[in-house]
Amino acid sequence: MKKDWKNIDFLRHVRHDWLNKVQLIKGNLALNKEERVKEIIDDIIREAQQEARLSNLELPDFALLLLTLNWESYCFHLEYEVLNDEKCQYIEDAVLTKWTAMLFNVLDKSAKSFYENHLSVSIAPESNGIRLFFDFSGIITDRALIDDFLHAKSPKSIKVEIHALMDEEIALEVFVENESASG
C-alpha cells in the first residue's frame, strides 16, 4: 500500500465521495433528468452492496487496500466485485494483501501513465480458499516487469494462473488456499 490510511483520512475521502454523489444527483434533478438520477442511485446501491460484501469477507487489510486504491495516484482505475457472500475463513489476510499490493505496484510501474487503464477484480470466496480474477485493459509499457513478478516465487498458499499477458490485456486467476489446506 502506498499510504497508511488513518481513520480521519479515510473518513475525509468517504465524505468527499458522498458529497460528489449527492451533487451529481442534485444537478441532474435540477436538469429534470429523472432517469439519470435513478441510474445514479442504482449505481450507488450496487457500490454499497459490493463494499458491504468486501467488508464482510473477514479480510480487513485486503478490503482496505481495495476500498482506498482509487484515492491514490495509480495509473489505473480499479473496480471489484465480490461474487458471493461466503466468508473467507482461515485466509492469511496479510499474505493476500501484501501479494495484491505488490501486483498493483508492478501494474502501476508497467502501465502507460495518463491513459485509461482499467483493472477489474472479481472475488470468489470458496470453502477451501478464495479465487481472484484480475482483468487489466490498457497499455502495458513494461511487460517483462509483470512477467518477472508473476513468475517469481509466491507464498505457497498463492497459486497464479496466467490466462493472458499481452500489451493491452492481462488476465490472471489467483487462488489463495486457506491456512488449513496449505499448512
Summarised one tens digit per residue, pLDDT across range 9-24 is 878 888 888 999 999 9
pLDDT higher than 50, residue 154: yes
Give mean pLDDT, residues 40-53.
94
- Residue 175 domain-assigned? yes
> Rounded distance, CA 25 to CA 15, Å?
15
Task: Place 5 in a pLDDT band, splitting at 50, 70 and 90.
Answer: low
Confidence (pLDDT) at 2: 55
> Rounded distance, CA 135 to CA 129, Å?
20
- Cell triple for residue 62? 485486503
- Residue 2 domain-assigned? no
- Residue 108 domain-assigned? yes
Which among 161, 95, 85, 180 has a CA at the least distance from the CA of 126? 85
Confidence (pLDDT) at 180: 66
| Domain limits for position 158 | 7-182
Task: Place 37 in a pLDDT band, splitting at 50, 70 and 90.
Answer: very high
Task: Place 4 in a pLDDT band, splitting at 50, 70 and 90.
Answer: low
Question: CA 176 from chain center: how many Å?
Answer: 16
Give mean pLDDT, residues 97-123.
96
Rounded to a whole number, what is the distance in angstroms from the first to the last CA of the chain?
27
Backbone phi, psi, residue 35, to 5°: -65, -40
In order of 6, 57, 104, 113, 132, the CA distances from 109 in angstroms are: 25, 29, 9, 9, 21
> Rounded distance, CA 159 to CA 115, Å?
30
Number of domains composing the chain: 1
Query: Is the pTM here over 0.95, yes or no?
Result: no
**CATH number for position 169:** 3.30.565.30
Confidence (pLDDT) at 87: 81
pLDDT higher than 50, residue 80: yes
- Residue 32 domain-assigned? yes
